[in-house]
Every structure is written in C-alpha cells, then in structure tokens.
Amino acid sequence: MVVSNFGKNTEFFPFNQFFSFLIVKSRFYPVNLQLEFLKIMENINWSNLTFGYLKTDFNVRMYYRDGKWSDLEVTDSEYIPLHIAATCLHYGQEAFEGLKAFKGKDGKIRIFRMHENALRLQSSSRGILMAELPVDLFEKAVVEAVKCNERFVPPYESGASLYIRPLLIGSSAQVGVKPSKEYTFIVFVTPVGPYFKEGFKTTPVSIFRDYDRAAPLGTGTIKVGGNYAASLVPGEIAYSKGYSAVLYLDAKEKKYIDECGPANFFGIKNNAYITPASTSILPSITNKSLMQLAEDLGMKVERRQIPLEELATFEEAGMCGTAAVISPIQRVDDTDNGTSYVFSKNGKPGAVCEKLYNTLRAIQYGDAEDRHGWVTVL
Ligand SMILES: Cc1ncc(COP(=O)(O)O)c(C=O)c1O
C-alpha cells in the first residue's frame, strides 16, 4: 500500500508527528493490524538481534522517468513491481549502500556520514551508467526512512543500531545490453544487533589465490551487486573452514593486499595506520573515518600498496566497515604455503584497534564530540 506521496513543497511538513499519529491512530490500518504492530515491538529482543532482515513499517521510494526524479513515496509494501526485462535483473544495473542510525543516551537519533554514502552511490551510478541521484534527495530519503520507522531504532543500552539500505536499480525493459531509461531508488531499514555480542574480539582470515573479487580496472571501487556475487563462493569456503573472511590479493600480480571480504584491510605498526591503495577496493567510509581518527591520535596514516610479506611486520591488523566498525584480525593464514601471520596470540584485540573502535563508536552514539561533522542528529 502506498501510504503517502509527498509533494515538492513539504519541507515544513511535520513528518515525525504524522507518522506517530499514523502508527498509533491510523485510519489507514485496521485495529487488529495496529495491535499486531505493538506485539511485534514487544517481542523484539534488542540485544539479541542478528545482522538479518526484520520487517519494519515503511520504506521510501523515488522513480527516475523522462529525465526527472519523482517525489518521495512512502509505502508499507516489501515488494517491487518489476518488468521481466528490467536491466537490474539481466545486466546487473544495480548499486546499493549501507549505513547506520544510532540512538544516543540522550534519546536522539544520529545518522552516520550519509553525505559520503550519497556521493558513493553517485560514483557507483557513473560506473554502471545509471541515473545519478542528487545528494539532497538521497539524504531526504534516508532521513524519511529512519523517521517513519523511528520505533525500530534500537535503544542505546542494547548496543544495536538501525541499518539503512539504499538501493538503486535499472527498472525499465531492455533486451539488448544497454542502460535502462528508468530507475527506482528505494531505502529500507532494519534493526541489527551489536556486531560483537560477547565483546570486541579477533577472528582469523585466509588468503585464497584461486579467486578474485574484482578486476584491477573493473568494478571493485563501486558498490554494485556483481562484486558481491563474485565473492559468494570464496566467502562460503572461508566460513566452512572457520575463517571470518577471505583476504584477497591484487588480481593482477597476487603480490599485494587488496580487499578483506566485505571490508577494507588495515595494519598497524610503529604508530602508523597503513591501508592498501588499489584500483579494485571499495572506498570504505569507516576506513576514511578511522584514517582521520588515527591522525587525530597523532598516528601517521599511509595509503599505499602493501606487499603480502609486510604482514609479518604488523603489530595489529583489522578489517573495517559499517557492520562491525573494526573486526580485529587474529591471524592471516596463507593456506597455499602453510604460512600464518599472527597478530594476537591471546585472541584479544590490540590496543590501537580498541582505541579506534571505541572512539568511532562513541561519536556514532553521541558519547563523544562530533569534531568532524560526521553525524546528522534527527
Ligand atoms: C567490499 C566492501 N569493502 C568495504 C566495505 C566497508 O565500507 P563502509 O565502511 O563504507 O561500510 C564494504 C561495506 O560496505 C564492502 O562491501
């Protein structure tokens, strides 16, 4: 059901109050549905959420047709009516984003660096010839998606957060390999659990030379579905062997560290934060933030090629991304030659990883000053 179509002149419309009203007293919903809503809320165990999909109340959509973006539409449907020849289905014209909203001790909701996600979606769109969504429309859609699902933002004490998933797809029909003429932009949200339920801890990762996630001049730097499809087989093999991710080497020479599963890699040594420069890595917004925080802490930041053998010299290593902030690496196994690069003998994260992790989380939850203007407070 399309709940509402907001016109262009709605800047001063009190969306918040409107949706609270809608949820509790809505004439759109029968009483039994409203009671169902309340039951769902009562049954959510905020501290036990996983990184899975939980239905929320609404998602928001915009459509690109005849060279123009439509107004924002709010719907409670989880489905998309889609043409069978839509380019997203056949030619992979789809890109997505991932970001989070957090509830602070003060009860306020904070969205982390959505401007950066808007820019990255534009970069993904240019990479696969999709219509670019203007930054202000992206931000408006994200804010509305959070506001109209406000009751699903987990409480501060749970350590959980609201994951926000913007998605852009080519939605008109093409049979030849050509870009779509029409695009559909959707933002849905879902509450996700704290990544480290039993505390911040290290995990092992493995190098597999038999698989590449993306080609050196391919689509690795943009967030398109095809990259993730290519990572499914090596990912599943890694999980089945007890690893938390695949550490990819550069696809051309297999000499340098590249992406680490769905996260960026970094190493720490001699008070320096070192992360790979590569033409096939997704520019992680978490990594960008950690580089800034490392600099703020007086560390040297290096973005350069990291030869595989340099792993032996790192005091600490980690993966970083929106899901976990930092996943400290216990060891990297190079299974082809039996070498193990160990960063944590006792399974505990190193002091620098812990400091960076705590600093970034404190900014996200509003416990520390947002010196760099990364947070949008609703
Ligand atoms: C391949 C890949 N690399 C890195 C990241 C981390 O990026 P971010 O910090 O923007 O979540 C992600 C997650 O989005 C990813 O999928």
CATH number at residue 37: 3.30.470.10
Six-digit token pair at 191?
Answer: 């509450």
Q: Which of 50, 353, 361, 49 is closest to 202 using CA atoms? A: 353
Where among 165, 192, 219 does a domain terminate?
Answer: 192
As annotated, the active-site residues are: 223
Q: Which ligand 1 atom is nearest residue 264's CA?
A: 4
Q: Which stretches does DSSP call E strand in 203-342? A: 203-207, 246-249, 257-260, 264-269, 272-276, 300-304, 316-321, 325-334, 339-342
* DSSP per-residue codes, 225-237: HHHHHHHHHHHHH
- Distance between CA atoms of 86 and 81, rounded to whole angstroms? 11
Same domain, 248 and 328: yes
pLDDT tens digits for range 28-75:
556 666 556 665 665 788 888 888 899 999 999 999 999 999 999 999
- Best residue among 257, 322, 374 to mutate for probing ligand 1's pocket (most ligand atoms within 8 Å of CB) is 322
Domain end residue (candidates: 154, 173, 192): 192
218 shares a domain with 84: no
For residue 314, tell me if it sits in a domain.
yes
Residue 24 and residue 141 in one domain: yes
Q: Which atom of ligand 1 is nearest to the CA of 99?
A: 11
Question: Which residue in the block uniquely carries the two structure tokens 């003998």?
Answer: 345
CATH code for the domain in which residue 350 is found: 3.20.10.10
SS3 13: coil
- Regarding the beta carbon of 319 and ligand 1, being less than 6 Å apart is answered no
Are residues 324 and 293 part of one domain?
A: yes
Q: Judge if 82 and 165 occupy the same domain.
A: yes
Q: Which of 168, 192, 216 is the last residue of a domain?
A: 192
373 lies in some domain: no
Residue recorded with tokens 């992790």: 357
And the tokens for 365? 């939850």
Structural domain includes residue 376: no
The answer to whether the CB of 257 falls within 8 A of the CB of 249 is: yes
pLDDT score recorded for residue 8:
43
Task: Kindly give the pairing relationship between strand 325-334 and strand 203-207.
Answer: parallel
Is residue 378 domain-resident?
no
Residue 222 and residue 156 share a domain: no
Residues 222 and 154 placed together within one structural domain of the fold: no
Q: CA quadruple 222, 223, 225, 227: dihedral positive or negative?
A: positive
Among protein residues, the one whose CA lies closest to atom 2 of ligand 1:
262
Q: Are 245 and 319 within 8 A, CB to CB?
A: yes
User: Do both 15 and 83 map to the same domain?
Assistant: yes
Give yes or no: residues 187 and 210 share one domain: no
| Same domain as 348, residue 305 | yes
> How many helices (H) and strands (E) in the chain?
8, 19
Tell me: the pLDDT tens digits for 172-214?
999 999 999 999 999 999 999 877 776 789 999 999 999 999 9
CA dihedral sign, ordered 299, 301, 307, 311: positive
Residue 273 lies in a domain: yes
Does residue 7 form part of some domain? yes
Question: What global pTM score does this model have?
Answer: 0.91
DSSP code at position 216: T
Between CA 244 and CA 347 the distance in angstroms is 14
Based on the domain organization, do 160 and 245 belong to the same domain? no
Paired tokens of 69: 């973006």
Which residues of the chain, if any, have pLDDT below 70?
Answer: 1-42, 198
Q: Which of 100, 157, 146 is nearest to 322 (CA)?
A: 100
User: What's the structural domain count of the chain?
Assistant: 2
Q: Is 372 inside a domain boundary?
A: no
Q: First and final CA of the chain: distance in angstroms?
A: 26
Report the separation in Å between the CA atom of 282 and the middle of ligand 1, taken as the mean of its atom positions. Answer: 6
Is 43 found in the same domain as 168? yes
Q: How high is the pLDDT of residue 162?
A: 97
CA dist 55 and 57 (Å) reads: 7
Determine the pLDDT at residue 30.
Answer: 61
In a domain, 198, yes or no: no
* Cα 284 to middle of ligand 1, angstroms: 5
**Domain span at residue 210?**
203-364
Q: What string of DSSP letters covers 116-154?
A: HHHHHHHHHHHHTT-PPPPHHHHHHHHHHHHHTTGGGSP
CA of 118 to the centre of ligand 1 (A): 14
Does residue 286's CB lie within 6 angstroms of at least one atom of ligand 1?
yes
